Chains A and B, each alone.
Chain A
Amino acid sequence: MAELHGESPLAARAETLAGSSVPGAVQLSEVAFTAQITLRVDPKSPAAERIGTAVGTMLPNQPGQVARTEQLQILWMGPDEWLLVGPEGSAGRIQATLAEALGEDHGSVVDVSGNRTIVEVTGPRSRELLAKGCALDLHRRSFTSDQCAQTLLARAGVVVLCRDADEPSFWILVRASFARYLADWLADAAAEYRDRTRQAASVRTLANGSDR
């Protein structure tokens, strides 16, 4: 096998995302090829406990809670559903770990790595940018670091993950087929920051050149 991966869903929008990034406002980029595994298991079962031990952290049991290990982020997606996000190439390993811990008990482990890609949104204007299409309250008082939510961003179903509430950083997990739409929407929503930068620059020029 040649290189591990082929073409990510947003490879064709890399320039769009980079071009929409505005220093001091927002940065947009794709985090491609992560391993993503959906786990379904009864949270009160011994199997859930064994899985917790195997992955190195208990499965989060609060809505929208995210647990982290060195390698993994474990997103609470429902009362008996989690999404495990790991580094590129680790899908097989994660599945094996989960399957072994699950043993013969009822539960399911499904590789969904190709199902969604991730758009990383960082910068001081991140929340405002997302608020243009997301009805959830993303304020740091209500949506803190290591919290996630399944919601709509514009018209695409997404998982929003707050990676850092202080230095705003979000991951938007989006279905591969919707990724370009979402990238285009984000670029459009971020356009005002670029425009603002341009205007600020022209105002400065004006200020320097006149007695205003």
Chain B
Amino acid sequence: MTGEYRLAEGGRINRDRPVRFRFDGHEYEGFDGDTLASALLANGVHQVGTSIRYGRPRGIASAGPEEPNALVQIEEPFPEPMLTATTVALHDGLVASSLPGQGRLATDPDPARYDAINAHCDVLVVGAGPAGLAAALSAARSGARVIIADSDTEFGGSLLGSDEELDHAPAGRWIDRVTAELRATPEVTVLPRTTVFGCYDDNYLVAVEHRGEDTFTRQRTWHVRAREVVLATGSHERPLVFPGNDRPGTMLAGSARTYVHRYGVLPGHRAVAFTTNDSAYAAAVDLHDAGVEIAAVVDVRPVATTLWTARCVERGIQILTNCAVTGTSGTDRVSGAQISPVPSGDSAPTVASELDCDLLLVSGGWNPAVHLHSQARGTVRYSEEICALVPDRATRGVRTVGAAAGTFTTGECLRTGSEAGSAAARATGFDADPAEVPSSPSGPVTPPQPTWLLPGLSADSDHDQFVDLARDATVADVRKAVGAGMSSVEHIKRFTTIGTAHDQGKTSGLLSSGVIAELLGVEVAQVGATTFRPPYAPVAFAALAGRDRGDLYDPIRVTAMHDWHLAQQCPFENVGQWKRPWYYPRPGEDMDSAVLRECHAVRTGVGMQDVSTLGKIDVQGPDAAEFLDLVYTNKMSTLKVGRIRYGLMCHADGMVFDDGTVMRTDEHRYLISTTSGGAAGVLEWLEDWLQTEWPHLRVHLTSVTEHWATIALAGPRSRDVLARVTSDIDLAADAFPFMSWTDGTVAGRAARVCRISFSGELAFEINVPWWHGREVWDALYEAGSDLDITPYGTETMHVLRAEKGFPIVGQDTDGTVTPHDLGMSWAVSKKKDDFLGMRSFSRADTVRSDRKHLVGLLPPADSAVVPEGTQLVELSELPEPPVPMLGHITSSYRSAALDRPFALALVKSGRDRIGQTVYGHVGDRLVPVEITEPVFYDKEGNRRDG
């Protein structure tokens, strides 16, 4: 396929592999190796959309990630918004459309796979142009671990877009040789199509690798920790500000050169080049040689350099020095450029001539890509010499070389790259000499003439002079900001939105600083530039999410009995990361009826629950008793071996933070339990005090949560069931009293059995090593089958404990509740000298009498359950707001034993209000509720011994 825009030969495209694609509803053909942009240009398509604010036609302006205009929406293979046509690799089946600014997200899940990997290296080289390749080669030859990454599909950087020779041969040969050597070196990782988009503290850099559409993983995020970093990120050409500078067909000069050399594409047939420096001459000469008619090179400088003048004369290319393009014409594409002599002073320019053209090349100089250097907190300075920002002070372990450092000749890039690579490897302890580099004929580069605003243009033309094409921001916008009194580039950025689009101001950033400087009448260096922030280039959220989605989004923690629960098809409740059975519905049951049945079974027969999730910590050492006395509000040192005590933990503010049981297993050893969700936090809390405040205490803590599988057996018949599977434990109430433990054999397995009850009924907790959990569970279930042993879930547990007035930390408390508020003063020792929270109990706020107390609530017996969270008020009719609130309901259920709804609540001066009726605000109704003691069932505790 060669047409009027595709050269018959040349370029790095694979002409044996034509690729069909669709753009804006039209079928086109390109080649493997094309970008969407080069393939469109080869088909004569320049305009790829309209601008976001003004709807002006916009075209392809560049050949790389700096592209401000050519945003496209990918439709197929999968919808993806806001990609730049200049960076989308062409592939079969690609369907894309132009995009005025905002994209469209897919409504279907993305079928592609995205993942992540961590990588470590001695030297990371970012960018594989001449400087980067030379750096990587030097470092790699020393044996250092090297990673070299480049956004482009192939290595070579700027060399790919020129016809430069190295060692008197096409540069491609050197690129191929170096790339092959790097690939063959064992400790080198070669990453093409990989954009390093963020540089963070301590040389932690993040990159995204585009692995291709047909690969197992479409994109992979690389988390790289590098000891040394060499940034060889190149530079971006800067456009020029002049009226009509946004017309399709206006293109960065170097990009046009890239289209010719790399893709064999002519971006137009008749071009005008408008420049402030030498590089547009190279483009003009190369395009001329490829068959493009060059109408003129328009140079703002008074004199062109001898070398380029000679080359132009040879080819008959007209040079107009001391001239500028001051306007363009055309509808959807540039058709002519107005040329004026650069006016002196304030006199308006006079249009000397209009040149017909379908391509307008522009070059305002080159901006080193200092993004990563700056993200790493390196500083930048404005260089008068190259009229751009260059790296100034670098952070430790970061080196910038090549065009990114303001070095623009290939020979110097190669030399400094090679040296930086060896210096970086040396810094990590490798004996690295700079690799020899090929000779390059490229001569010196003369500095550009600083040109930000063309003088003498009328204010009317401000609206036509675009500073940020992506944001449709013009000189008029900047003038308005300056006129409003702004002088900081950061303020003006936010006012005008310049530099905030997908390209983050790659072409517009410094340009706006220049325009601001001219309008304020100060130096560009004084204005500076806005902060460079990650990501350097847009990154898909899917790539950042990686595999952390679906079931792998967060760990699902399960117990040894999980498969049994699954087989019952019970719904699960999330408790932290744990999955806990919520209730076990029988066929035809809803949640309410299942929970009533389970409650009834525990109160009248026997139930069993998987309580393995409770946190368990082994506490050992001669000072263990003293330690526990300090962290619990009650006294644990007086606990006898073989016995168990309930305990509360408070933070230093005196507020309840966790609760559980304390089991004394030996003179110097305890096993404490925590809430399921609080286990890790409690261990951290205890270690914190032990290591930082009480290092003199000889105590060791060991988490044993998952060593044990724990089964609660509860109900008046629980002793009968247990008796059937154990022969060496005397289960009689006097031999094995409430709140004691014993070791024995249960269902043939060594077990630790406790008499603990969270339901008020006779109950046992059976602990066996994890891998016996399922087996012992099955044995107990089997042993109780004729008693209709009933597995129950967290909901039933919650109801049963609420009937007994036992609070759940985190449900009935919220970090503002003291033990006294809970009515648990009995659990706060008055005999101890100190414990965490003690001092706070004498604070004025904790001793006031109108604190909220945990109390019981009884709605009318025949009413529905009042929702948890319901606010409580004093009167049966709401007064004018603000309505004083008395408190809220923390737990609310229907009781099988009481055959009525009941609740727990935190109520102001609640204990003084027992017997009073207050009102719950439910929807638009007020429901009367009677305040009661929090214990509803078996107040005397007669049931715990069965």
Among residues 124 to 155 in chain A, which have CB atoms less than 8 Å away from a CB atom of chain B? 128, 131-137, 139, 141-142, 154-155
Which single residue of chain B is at the shortest CB-CB distance from A4? Answer: B771
Q: Is the CB of A114 within 8 A of B547?
A: no
Indicate if A184 sits at the interface (CB-CB under 8 A).
yes
| A155-B554, A176-B770 as given contacts; A110 in contact with B563, CB under 8 Å | no
B206-227 interface code vs A (CB 8 A; 1 in, 0 out): 0000000000110000010100
A115: contacting residue among B558, B622, B705, CB under 8 A: B705
Q: Chain B residues near A135: list those with CB within 8 A.
A: 118, 223, 225
Judge whether B591 is part of the interface by a CB distance below 8 angstroms. Answer: no
Q: A115-B706, A131-B119 are in contact. Are A6 and B618 (CB under 8 A)?
A: no
Instruction: Judge whether A164 is part of the interface by a CB distance below 8 angstroms.
Output: no
Interface-located stretch among B20-28, B696-704, B914-922 = B696-704
A175: CB under 8 A from chain B?
yes
The answer to whether A64 has its CB under 8 Å from any CB of chain B is no
Chain A contacts for B775, CB-based, 8 A: 6-7
Residues of A within 8 A of B115 (CB): 132, 189
Interface-centre pick from A5, A8, A128, A175 (highest chain B CB count, 10 A)? A175
Chain A 104-132: CB-based contact to B (< 8 A → 1; otherwise 0): 00111011111110000000000010011
Are B557's CB and A181's CB within 8 A? yes
Known contacts A8-B771, A108-B700, A116-B706; decide if A176 and B554 are in contact (CB<8 Å): no
Contact status A110-B547, CB under 8 Å: no
A114 in contact with B620 (CB, 8 Å): no
A46 to chain B, nearest CB (A): 15
A156 interfacial by beta-carbon distance below 8 Å: yes
Secondary structure class of chain B's binding surface, majority of residues: mixed
Q: A7 to B558, Cβ gap below 8 A?
A: no
CB distance from A4 to the nearest CB of B (A): 10
Q: Mark A1-34, 1 if CB is under 8 A from B, else 0.
A: 1100111110010000000000000000000110
Smallest CB-CB separation from A195: which chain B residue?
B216
Check A188–B547 contact: CB distance below 8 A.
Answer: yes
- Find the A residue at minimum CB distance from B557: A177
A5–B771 CB distance below 8 A: yes
A113–B707 CB distance below 8 A: yes
| Contact present for A176 and B560 (CB under 8 Å) | yes
State whether the Cβ of A57 lies closer than 8 Å to any Cβ in chain B.
no
B:89-139 near A, CB below 8 Å: 115-120
Q: For A8, what are the chain B residues with a Cβ–Cβ distance below 8 Å?
A: 771
Q: Give the distance to chain A from B181, nearest Cβ to Cβ, in Å.
A: 21
Residue pair A108, B702 in contact (C-beta under 8 Å): yes
Size category of the binding interface on chain B: 35 or more
> Which residues of chain B have C-beta atoms less than 8 A from A204's C-beta?
none
B860 at the interface (CB under 8 A from A): no
How many interface contacts (CB-CB < 8 Å) are there between A and B?
123
What is the chain A residue whose CB lies nearest that of B204? A135
Give the contacting residue for A38; candidates B145, B559, B702; CB below 8 A: B702
- What's the nearest-Cβ distance from chain B to residue A126, in Å? 14
| B330 beta carbon closer than 8 Å to chain A | no
Whether A106 touches B771, Cβ cut-off 8 Å, given contacts A139-B120, A178-B555, A189-B115, is: no
Contact flags B611-646 to A (C-beta < 8 A → 1, else 0): 001000010111000000000000000000000000
Are B702 and A6 touching (Cβ within 8 A)?
A: no
B545 at the interface (CB under 8 A from A): no
Bound CA span A115–B622, Å: 25
Contacts of B621 in A (CB 8 A): 106, 108
Contacts of B771 in A (CB 8 A): 5-9, 32-33, 114
Contact B120 A114 (CB under 8 A): no
The answer, among A110, A155, A176, A178, for a CB contact under 8 Å with B618, is: A110
Q: Is the CB of B770 within 8 A of A114?
A: yes
Closest to B708 in A: A114
C-alpha spacing A116/B118, complex, angstroms = 25
Are A192 and B216 also in contact (CB < 8 A) when A134-B118, A177-B706 are? yes
Q: A156-B555, A177-B578 are in contact. Are A110 and B704 (CB under 8 A)?
A: yes
Asked whether A154 lies within 8 Å of B578 as measured between CB atoms, the reply is no
- List residues of chain A with CB within 8 A of the CB of B772: 5-6
Contact residues in B for A7 (Cβ distance below 8 Å): 560, 771, 773-775
Known: A113-B769, A191-B216. A178 touches B557 (CB 8 A): yes
A93 at the interface (CB under 8 A from B): no
A189 touching B554 in the complex, CB below 8 Å, given contacts A1-B748, A7-B560, A108-B620: no
Instruction: Indicate whether B303 reaches chain A with its CB closer than 8 angstroms.
Output: no
Which chain A positions have C-beta within 8 A of B770? Answer: 9, 114-115, 176
Specify which of B116, B217, B225 is in contact with A137 (CB 8 Å cutoff).
B225
Q: Is B861 an interface residue when CB atoms closer than 8 A count as contact? A: no
Q: Which of B767-791 contact A (CB under 8 A)?
A: 769-775
Q: Which residues of B contact A176 (CB under 8 A)?
A: 560, 706, 770
A1, A111, A154, A178: the one contacting B707 at CB < 8 Å is A111
| Given A6-B772, A9-B770, A180-B556, also A110-B702 (CB < 8 A) | yes
A38 CB contacts on chain B under 8 angstroms: 702
What are the residues of chain B within 8 A of A195 when measuring CB–CB? 216
B118 touches A131 (CB 8 A): yes
CB-CB under 8 A from B709, the residues of chain A are 114
In A37-91, which residues have CB < 8 Å from any B CB?
A: 38, 40
Does A142 contact B120, Cβ atoms closer than 8 Å? yes
Cα(A113)–Cα(B652), bound, Å: 35
B552 close to A (CB within 8 Å): yes
| CB proximity to B under 8 Å, residues A161-196 | 175-178, 180-182, 184-185, 188-189, 191-192, 195-196
B551 at the interface (CB under 8 A from A): yes
> Shortest distance in angstroms between A55's beta carbon and chain B's nearest beta carbon?
19
Query: How far does the alpha carbon of A139 sit from the alpha carbon of B145 in the complex, in Å?
Result: 10
B864 to chain A, nearest CB (A): 37
Whether A115 contacts B707 by the Cβ 8 Å rule is yes
* Whole-angstrom distance between the Cβ of A157 and the nearest chain B Cβ: 9
Residues of B within 8 A of A192 (CB): 216-217
Shortest beta-carbon distance from B202 to chain A in Å: 12
Q: Which residues of B contact A128 (CB under 8 A)?
A: 117
Smallest distance from the beta carbon of A151 to chain B beta carbons, Å? Answer: 11
A12-B563, A33-B771 given as contacts; is B116 within 8 A of A115 (CB)?
no
Asked if A184 contacts B552 (CB within 8 A), the reply is yes
Residue of A nearest to B566 (CB): A12
A58 to chain B, nearest CB (A): 20
Residues of A within 8 A of B547 (CB): 132, 154, 185, 188-189
Residue of A with least CB distance to B578: A177
**Residues on the A chain within 8 Å of B707, using CB:** 111-115
B290 to chain A, nearest CB (A): 34
Task: Select one of B548, B555, B702, B704 contacting A40, CB under 8 A.
Answer: B702
- What is the chain B residue whose CB lies nearest that of A199? B216
Across the interface, B117 reaches (CB within 8 A) one of A132, A136, A156, namely A132
Chain A residues whose C-beta falls within 8 Å of the C-beta of B216 in the assembled complex: 191-192, 195-196
- The residue of chain A having its C-beta at the shortest distance from the C-beta of B554 within the complex is A155
- Cβ of B702: which chain A residues have Cβ within 8 Å of it? 38, 40, 108, 110, 112
Residues of B within 8 Å of A136, CB to CB, are: 118
- Shortest C-beta distance, A133 to chain B (Å), equals 8
Q: Could you tell me the distance in whole angstroms from the C-beta of A167 to the nearest C-beta in chain B?
A: 17
A17 to chain B, nearest CB (A): 16
Residues of B within 8 A of A189 (CB): 115, 547
Residues of chain B within 8 A (CB-CB) of A115 are 703-707, 770
Question: In the complex the two chains form, is A110's CB within 8 Å of B620's CB?
Answer: yes
B556 touches A137 (CB 8 A): no
Known: A115-B704, A176-B770; 8 extra A-B contacts, CB below 8 A, are A2-B748, A5-B772, A40-B700, A133-B118, A135-B223, A180-B556, A181-B552, A188-B552
30 A–B contacts, CB within 8 A, in A order: A5-B772, A6-B749, A6-B773, A9-B560, A108-B621, A108-B700, A110-B704, A112-B704, A112-B707, A114-B709, A114-B770, A115-B704, A115-B707, A131-B118, A131-B119, A132-B115, A135-B118, A139-B120, A141-B145, A142-B120, A154-B555, A155-B554, A177-B558, A177-B559, A180-B556, A182-B555, A189-B115, A189-B547, A191-B216, A192-B216
Nearest 5 A/B pairs, CB to CB: A114-B770, A108-B620, A137-B120, A177-B557, A108-B700
